[in-house]
Amino acid sequence: MKANDSEIWESFKVGDKSALSYVYFQYFHSMFQYGIKFCDDQEFIKDCIQDVFLNLIQAGEKLGPTENIRFYMFRALKNTIYKSIEKRNRDKIAEFIPLKFDAPFALEEEIAEKENASNKETALLNALNCLSHRQREIIYLRFECEMEYDQICEIMELQSDSARKLVFRAIRSLREIIDAELKLPILFLIQFSQKHVL
C-alpha cells in the first residue's frame, strides 16, 4: 500500500473523487486520534480535520508530491491545529503558545482511577509523569503509529536523532522501575506471551 501512496496522491491532487474518499476514510481515524492528543475538544479537532481537507482540495495541483500520505496528513493537521489555536487566542494573549501533546498514557488513566494504588504502581506512575510532552508525542508516533524516526523529527521539528535519544531516555527510566518489581519464572512468561496481552 505504501508503494502506491504517490500515485494515490497524484490522483487526489487532480481532483479524483475516489482518491479523495480513499485518503479521507483511510486517514480520518488516525488523524483524529493524533489531533485529540493536543486539544481534548472533539468538535475543534473535527473542524481542524475538515479544514485540512478543504485546504488540500483548494490547493489541488499546487500541492507537492508525497510518498507517505499519513505523514503528510499528520503534518498538515498539526499545522492547522496550531494556526487555529493561534487564531482563537489572538485577542486574549499575545505571547507564543507551543502546541502541547497533552494526553495521559492508558496506564496513567487506569491508576488514577484506582483508590488504592500499590507502591509499584505509584512508582510507575511517577516515572510516567516525568515524561515530557515531547517525549509523549515521539512515543505516540513511534509506538502507536509505527512512524520512522526521521519523519517524527520532521513533524516535530527536531534535530535528527534527538527523537531516538528522547525515547531511549524514557525507556531507561521505566526500565529501572519495572526491573525492580519483576522477578518471575520463565513459565509465567511463556503463558503471558501466548495470550499476547499488551
How many residues bind other proteins (CB under 8 A)? The answer is 58
Beta carbons within 8 Å of 8's beta carbon, 6+ residues apart: 19, 22, 23, 69
Considering only 73-81, 82-90, 91-99, 141-149, which stretch makes contact with other proteins by CB under 8 A?
Answer: 141-149
CA distance 80 to 48: 6
Task: Select 90 or 185, whichever has its Cβ closest to other proteins.
Answer: 185
Task: Select 89 or 176, whichever has its Cβ closest to other proteins.
Answer: 176
Tell me if 1 contacts other proteins by CB under 8 A.
no
Report in angstroms how near the CB of residue 43 gets to other proteins at its nearest.
Answer: 9
Task: Select 9 or 140, whichever has its Cβ closest to other proteins.
Answer: 140
Instruction: Give which of 49, 113, 105, 107 is closest to 77, Cα–Cα.
Output: 49
Considering only 76-84, 89-97, 144-152, 153-161, which stretch makes contact with other proteins by CB under 8 A?
Answer: 144-152
Task: Select 60 or 89, whichever has its Cβ closest to other proteins.
Answer: 60
3-class secondary structure, 136: helix
DSSP percent split of the chain into helix, strand, coil, nearest 5: 70, 0, 30
* Position among 10, 11, 36, 44 found at the interface with other proteins (CB under 8 A): 36
CA distance 130 to 166: 12
How open is the CA angle 111-115-119, to the nearest 5 degrees? 60
Sign, CA torsion 66/67/70/75: negative
Report in angstroms how near the CB of residue 126 gets to other proteins at its nearest.
Answer: 12
Tell me if 46 contacts other proteins by CB under 8 A.
yes
Contact 24, 32 (CB under 8 A): no
Report in angstroms how near the CB of residue 92 gets to other proteins at its nearest.
Answer: 26
Q: Which three cell numbers mark 164?
A: 531516538
Can you give the binding site for other proteins, defined by CB under 8 A?
A: 15, 17-18, 20-22, 24-26, 28-30, 32-33, 36-37, 42, 46, 49-50, 53-54, 57-58, 60, 103, 105-107, 109, 124, 128, 139-140, 143-146, 167-168, 170-172, 174-175, 178-179, 182, 184, 186, 189-190, 192-194, 196-198
